[in-house]
Structure formats: C-alpha cells, structure tokens
Structure 1
Amino acid sequence: MLNVFTLANGRLFQEEIESLEELARFKPIWVDLESPTPEERRWVRQHFGLSIPEDAMDEDIEESARFFEEDNGELHIRSDFLIDDNDEARSVRVAFILNQHNTELKSHGVLFSIHDEDVPVFRLLRLRARRMPGLISDAKEVLLSLFDTDAEYCADTVEDIYDDLDRVSRQVLSGDVTDDKASEVLAAIARHQDMSGRIRRNMMDTRRAVSFMMRTRMLNADQFEDARQILRDLDSLDSHTGFLFDKINFLMDATVGFININQNKIIKLFSVASVALLPPTLVASIYGMNFQHMPELTQKWGYPAALCLMVVSAVGPMLYFRKRGWLK
C-alpha cells in the first residue's frame, strides 16, 4: 500500500496511490509504504529517483548501521515502534529515508517510511495532523512528530499497565489467593513484565534516533528544541518504568509466597496424618508379632482390645493437634 501526504492550509491530507500517473499529480512531504509491492517500489524509484534498499526491513541489521547519512544528504533511520495488542505486544521495524532536498522535484524534503504492518503511532499522527492545522510544516517535522507521538503512545501504555496492576494488586493483597487465581495473576504479571521491557527498549531506540537527528544539525532552532523536549519526555518515563519493574517483582514474590503457603497447607495435612497414624501402626506391629503369650492367641478379647488401643492411640494425637490449632 502506497500513501502520500500533502500539506494544504496547514493540514496533512492523505491520498492512496494506485498508479504512477496518480503519484505524479501530488507533491507530498511524506510517502508511506506499508508492505510495498515491487511495482510500488518501482513507482517511487521512477518518480522520486529513490531506490529503497532490499534490507530496509531486516531485523538482524547491525545496530551501528541503523542511523547514517548518505553522501547525497539522504538520512537513513531504522527505528522500532511499539504495538500494544490485547493478545500480543510486539515491536515493528520502520525504515525512514529523509530526502532533505530534491532538486528534480523542486521539493524541500520528502520523508519515506517503509514498514510491514500498520503502526498505531502513524494513525495517531495522521488523525492529529488532520485536526490541528500548523502542526506540521515540512518532512523533518513529520519525523519528529512521529517520535513525539511514539513517546506519548508509550506513556499511554504505561498508564494502562498502572491501571491493570492496581487490579492485580487488589487480587493478591486480598489474601484469598487460590491456585487458579494465582495462575491468572502470574500470567498477567508476565505480560506486563514483557510489555515494560518492550517499552524501555522502544524508548531507548527512539532516544537514539532523536539524538542522531540532533547531531546531524539538520534541525532548525524550533525543531531542535522540540527534539530536546522529546528526550525530556522519554527521560521522565524511565522512572515510571523502573517503578513498574519494582511493583511487578513485588507482586511476583507475593503471589509465589501465597502459592508456597497453599502447598505448605497440603504438606501439613500429610505430616499431621502421618504423625497421628504412627501410634496405631506401632500397636499393630506389636500385636502382629505372633508370640506365644500374645492375648489374641488365647483370649477372646485380644483382637478387640488391640483395635480399641489403636483407635485411642490415633484419637489422642488428633485431639492434641486440634487444640494447638494445627488442623486449621
């Protein structure tokens, strides 16, 4: 899918392109390629003179090769964006190519973005730029606004984790944690732990990308200040994610503690039963020795007496355990 974005009256408008002739009618500041076909790549190469690298979406690219500037002034940035689905949280690699000045098209910069699936941050920026005139004026501000929106998306995700962990905390601290409830709590904690780690990794990646843009001196004074504000917002999220890790570890330890308590209750029942049955076993073993003078061999009351003695020897320890409260 090939989408181009143009500016009109300070607003960002989106157009879906289905042919090379249709692409030639627009002068976009942002060209977005979602899972581009070979034909769409060819349109971009013919109209903009830009060849999209085949390894643009590779996940195993070296970290040092994710941010670089070509001799012709093209800026290449490969950054990860967070996707928070209900079933699975993941990161999507997006390749950016910023053509800062295109003499053939008499353009003062076009941003190209290539990715394999739709990114929520892109949808948020499109909606915001359509409703807020003057938010974006050139391609560099599109890239900065994407990173700014990504920071806000991470902050919203952190707030959602806060809310969900509050619910989990009430379940754990209620004291009535069964094995089934503990399994649900552990599954929720594991999801939030994974999400918190992805948020920290995404923030680190965004911080590196914004710092790279600042080092290239491609930003004007206002854009440079916006980039610094993005870095400050990312720094403020570090303390929140650190607190989330601590809270998740506390809930994990508390839940595992309740699981151990439930297991200890079961082991205690077996221990009490084994101790209570030890005296009857001793009596049975003694009366089971077929000596000549054993009463069960010569007296009618021998076996009933042995059985009564076994019952008494079992009831006595049970009454003692109940008095001490060990059977609760």
Structure 2
Amino acid sequence: MLNVFALANGRLFQEEIDSPEARAAAPAGPRPVWVDLESPTPEEKAWVAARFGLAIPDDIIDDDLEESARFYEEDNGELHIRSDFLIDGDDAPDGKPSRNVRVAFILFEGVLFSVHDEDLPVFRLLRLRARRIPALIEDAKDVLLKLYDADAEYSADALEGIYDNLERVSARVLKQDVDDRVAAEILAAIAKEEDLNGRIRRNVMDTRRALSFLMRSRKLGAEQFEEARQILRDIDSLDSHTAFLFDKINFLMDATVGFININQNKIIKIFSVASVALLPPTLIASVYGMNFQAMPELQWKYGYPFALGLMVASVAAPFIYFLRKGWLR
C-alpha cells in the first residue's frame, strides 16, 4: 500500500495510491512531505524511483541487518534510519501478541519515505493528529520527530496498561487462595506483561538512539533540535517506570511460585504423615507374623482382636501428636 502525504493549508493531506491507474494519474505536484509504503510491491517501488529518483533496496527492513547499518547518510544526501515501533497486543486487530515492527526511514530531498510490513498504531495516531491540528507539521523532519514523539506517548500508554493489569494480578495473588489452576493463570498473565515491558524498554532504547543520530546529523533546525531533546527527556522518564515494573513482576512471580511450593509441600506432608502413621502397625503385624512356638492369635482367643486394636491405637497416637503440634493444619 502506498500513501502520499502533502501539506495543504497547514494540515497533512493523505492520498492513497493503491492501483496502477492511480499511480499513473498521480500529479507531479505539489511535492509531498511524506511517502508511506506498507508492504510495498515492486511496482510501487518503481513508481517511487521514477517519481522521486530514490531506489528502495529489497532488504531495507530485514531483521538481520547489522547494527552499524541502521543509521547512516549516503553521499547524495540520503539519511537512512531503521527504527523499531511497538504494537501492543491489545491494540492488534489480528489478535497477535505484542511485537516490535521494523520501520525504515529515508529522508531525501525534503521528503520522508517510510517502509514497513504492518500498519502501526503510531502512524495512525500521527495521521489523525495532522488532519485535526493545523500547523502541526511543516516539513518532512517534523513528520519524523512527531512519529517518535507519538511512539514515546504510545509506550507510556502501554506502560499504564501494564500497571492496571498487574494490579489485577496482585489482587488475585494476595487476596485469595492460590491453587495450581489459579497459579498457572497468574503466571501466564505475568509472563505476558513481562514480555510487553521488555519490548517497551527495547523500543524506547531504539528511539533514543535514532533521535541521538538525528541530533548529531545537524539537519534539524533550532526548534526541531529542542523538540528532539524534549522527546529524549520523555523517554528517560519511562526508564524508571520500566525498571519498577520489572521489580513488581519479579515480586509477583516469586509470590506465585511460593504459593505453588506451599501447595506441593502440603501434598508431601500428607504422604509423610501417612508413612509415619503406618510404621507402628506394620511393626506390630511383623511381630505377630513371626514364627513363635506359641502364637498369640492361635493360643489366645482375643489374640486377633487385640492385635487389630493395637494397630489402630498405634495409628491414632501419631495423628493425635501431630494435631497437638499443629502439623496437620
């Protein structure tokens, strides 16, 4: 899918070019500030090359791209940036889990080109804001900065969602009996939030690196440079939240595992008590089964009842002792 964005009366105007006829009829002007390519086809890449003189490599968003090749500038002025953007699983319409999606940016002759495989919530948020708020964007570098700003806000919203979900998990862990079924559900919920928290931390780290590269490239104006610094301060404020959430997740994980161990110890305790209680009657049965010259159960008419009663008493005595000690509670 190919979307072209141009400025009209201080607002971002979108034109979707999704067919060969639309690409052929696309006007030569005004020059857009942003060209967004979602899962671009070879025909769409060829249209970009013919219209703007920019060749988009086929491996531009490969995951195995070296870290050193994520931020660089070509001799012809092309500024290349590869960044990861977050998709919260709760916002994904396809029901997929939370994930980071690689996006390639190319800033070339006053136009920002973005290439990615999935539609991103941050991109939708920026399009909505740019249509409603006049003078929000003035050039292509503003588009890139506003995307990173929206990405920081989206990460903050995702962190708030983790806070809410962990509060519900805490209520289940600390305010009710935790059996094995409940413990399994709690561990699954904790693992999901831990994965999302880790992805947020990686996402903000990647955004920080991209902004630092932009600031070092000396292509930003004075106001844009200050805006980039403000975004970095917002990102720095998220680090303490992610660290706190990691600690909270570890605490809930340890508490849940502790309850699982308690439940297992209860089962082991039952077998231990039963084993100890059955030792005396086993000993009595062994003694009575020995080969005596005068066997009590044969020479005495109360021999069998006495042996059985002695076995019951030997079983009851340990249980009474355990109850007084509180070991059976």
TM range (shorter): over 0.9
The Cα offsets for residues 177-198 of structure 1, whole Å up to 9 and x where unpaired, read as 1111111111111111111111
- In the alignment, what sits opposite 1:7? 7
Name the amino acid aligned to 1:207.
R
Query: After superposition, what is the alpha-carbon deviation per residue over 1:216-254, rounded to whole angstroms, capped at 9, x for unaligned?
Result: 000000000000001000000000000000000011111
**2:54 maps to which residue?**
50
Q: Percent identity?
A: 72
From 97, 107, 116, the equivalent of 1:98 is 107
Single out whichever of 157-166 and 318-327 deviates more from structure 2. 318-327
Distance 1:247 1:293 in 2: 72
Match of 1:277, SS state, is helix
Q: Distance in 2 between matches of 1:110 and 1:24?
A: 16
Q: Which residue of 1 aligns with 2:37?
A: 33
For structure 2, which runs of at least 5 residues remain unmatched after alignment?
91-95
Q: 1:81 Cα deviation (Å)?
A: 0.4
SS at match of 1:43: helix
Secondary structure of the structure 1 residue equivalent to 2:236? helix
Within the alignment, does 1:60 sit opposite 2:64 as a pair?
yes
Aligned pairs for 1:38-187 (under 5 A) are: 38-86=42-90, 87-99=96-108, 101=109, 109-187=110-188
Q: Distance in 2 between matches of 1:81 and 1:56?
A: 15
Write the distance in 1 (CA, Å) between the matches of 2:133 and 2:81.
26
Which deviates more from structure 2 when the two are superposed, residues 69-78 or residues 24-33?
Answer: 24-33
Q: Distance in 2 between matches of 1:32 and 1:229?
A: 26
1:142 deviation in Å? 0.1
Distance 1:31 1:22 in 2: 16
Which moved further from structure 2: 6-15 or 145-154? 6-15
1:239 aligns with 2:243: no
* AA at the equivalent of 1:92: V
Give the Cα–Cα distance (whole angstroms) in 2 for the partners of residues 241 and 44 of structure 1.
40
CA root-mean-square deviation: 1.1
- TM-score normalised by structure 1 residue count: 0.95
The answer to whether the Cα contact below 8 Å between 1:83 and 1:90 also exists between their aligned partners in 2 is yes
Q: What is the distance in 2 between the residues matched to 1:13 and 1:277?
A: 84
Matches within 5 A, 1:262-277: 262-277=263-278
Distance (Å, rounded) in 1 between the aligned partners of 2:204 and 2:78 = 24
Q: Once structures 1 and 2 are overlaid, which stretch shifts more, 235-244 or 20-29?
A: 20-29
Q: Which moved more, 1:116-125 or 1:167-176?
A: 167-176
Residue 200 (1) aligns with residue 207 (2) = no
Counterpart position of 1:105: none
Unaligned runs of 5+ in 1: 102-108
TM-score, L = length of structure 2: 0.95
- 2:275 matched to 1:291? no
Q: Which residue of 1 aligns with 2:325?
A: 324
TM superposition shift of 1:175? 4.6
Cα distance in 1 for partners of 2:124, 2:293 equals 95
One-letter code of the match for 1:81?
F
Structure 1 residues 270-306: Cα deviation after superposition (integer angstroms, max 9, x where no partner): 1111111111111111111121122113222211211
CA contact (8 A) 1:24 1:47 kept: no
Residue aligning to 2:230: 229
What CA distance in whole angstroms lies between the structure 2 residues aligned with 1:21 and 1:307?
101
Candidates 26, 30, 39, aligned match of 1:23: 26
Range with bigger deviation, 154-163 or 313-322: 313-322
